Amino acid sequence: MTTPRPETLAKLTPVLTKRWLSPDAWRIGTYEKLDGYAALRKALKAHPDDLIQLIKDSGLRGRGGAGFPTGLKWGFIPQGDGKPHYLVVNADEGEPGTCKDLPLMTHDPHSLVEGVIVASYAIRANRAYIYIRGEAVHAARRLRNAVQEAYAKGYLGRDILGSGFDLELVVHSGAGAYICGEETALLDSLEGFRGQPRLRPPFPATHGLYASPTVVNNVGTIASVPYIVLGGGDWWKTMGTEKSSGPMIYSLSGRIANPGQYECSMGITLRELIELAGGMQPGHNLKFWTPGGSSTPLLTAEHLDVPLDFEGVAAAGSILGTTATQIFSDQDCPVYATYRWLEFYHHESCGKCTPCREGNYWMVRVYRRILAGQGTHEDLDTLLDTCDNILGRSFCGLGDGATSSVTSSLKYFKQDYLDYIEGRTAPKLSDKQLVGAH
């Protein structure tokens, strides 16, 4: 393990993670001692429209993957329409490699609760939901405990802190389906239906939960709000880059010495993140990596200095996504890694549309064939052709995301595929695992 240089250490900007290591950080007493609920008191004195403007001015962009401007989204909620408004927090966090929302809710659940109250006040919602991934039992327990504590202190419920604003907050556990992270599938699931994406338009801003105006935001997005209210938009913009403002929690996993969450200004590079994480594991050299989870095209050692913000990663031909950087070395096989991701997408495909349901089914079979040493050169064309029929032709982003690692691994690592096909690499799968591959 290597020690990061002081100038690289200085790139850490703990904002959302700043309380994580405090003893009992998840308790309301600790939270209040460390500025907790001060933003709420400040926000309740402001006009809701001014809060929406503040979030617009801060340049905050959604932390759920697409980077949509948060203030703009809040501004889409029609006001004075006489309908109930809802805030729904997307805490599904199912993207492989992504691990920023669950630690946040486990270590500092009150920052999310406080963000929910401020955001609900801004969009004039009197009911909010946190939809948390079913398997995240520990985080859900912490969150429910925090909600109870907030009710007991008068931060939730009727006439919050004497402001006349009422808010009920419900923590809802899903059943563990990746597709329920897609915002419209999430809404269907929350309403008690099978979680499948909805046709858009209409968009959730006008026809969301129970056909009413709804904002769906990621955990990290909403948890950023109290800091912006307290620190101001200009302070927020001192971190990050011109179009990607603020700090970001990068979750690092794979062949590095210290996997974990590193909160840095947006625009940091993978080279710097690896240094912060103590370097690569001994004996491993970087071969490929995902900048934002398995739905984002792979990058390589050539991309170590790409700024990890929305624009920088896009310019390098990938997507910032969830900032889940999964790091693979020269001892890992890009063909096998892609196959494992495809098994995931095939399993999680909700089946609503043909390109994703059938395309992933067939691609898994082609990969099994290649990895069992029975692939052909034609298989590589079949994979690209199948991706072509999925990308842009699927009903939701799951289908598009499934193609990312296939096309990018073929772009950068075609030789690894050829080595299986032409017999230079020993098969990784046995004939037994090949069932149904022809």
Ligand X SMILES: Cc1cc2nc3c(=O)[nH]c(=O)nc-3n(C[C@H](O)[C@H](O)[C@H](O)COP(=O)(O)O)c2cc1C
Chain positions contacting ligand SF4, by CB under 6 A? 179, 197, 349-353, 356-357, 394-396, 398-399
Per partner kind, with CB cut-offs from 5 to 8 A, the member of ligand SF4, ligand X, none near residue 68 is ligand X
Shortest approach of ligand X to residue 215 CB, angstroms? 9
The yes or no reply on residue 63 touching ligand X (CB under 6 A) is: yes
Per-residue contact track with ligand X, 221 to 250, x per CB under 6 A? x-----------------------------
Site stretch for ligand X (CB under 6 A), options 92-100, 231-239, 270-278, 355-363: 92-100
Residue with tokens 């690499």: 425
Shortest approach of ligand SF4 to residue 201 CB, angstroms? 16
Per partner kind, with CB cut-offs from 5 to 8 A, the member of ligand SF4, ligand X, none near residue 62 is ligand X
Shortest approach of ligand SF4 to residue 386 CB, angstroms? 14
Residue closer to ligand X (CB basis): 68 or 210: 68
What is the total count of residues that contact ligand X (CB under 6 A)? 23
Site stretch for ligand X (CB under 6 A), options 30-38, 145-153, 178-186, 279-287: 178-186
Shortest approach of ligand SF4 to residue 321 CB, angstroms? 17
Per CB under 6 A, the list member of 4, 59, 174, 181 interacting with ligand X is: 181
Residue closer to ligand X (CB basis): 217 or 323: 217
Q: How far apart are CA 433 and CA 189, in angstroms?
A: 34
Residue 132's φ and ψ, nearest 5 degrees, are -105, 145
Q: Which residue ranges make up the site for ligand X (CB under 6 A)?
A: 62-66, 68, 90, 92-95, 178-179, 181-183, 216-218, 221, 396-398
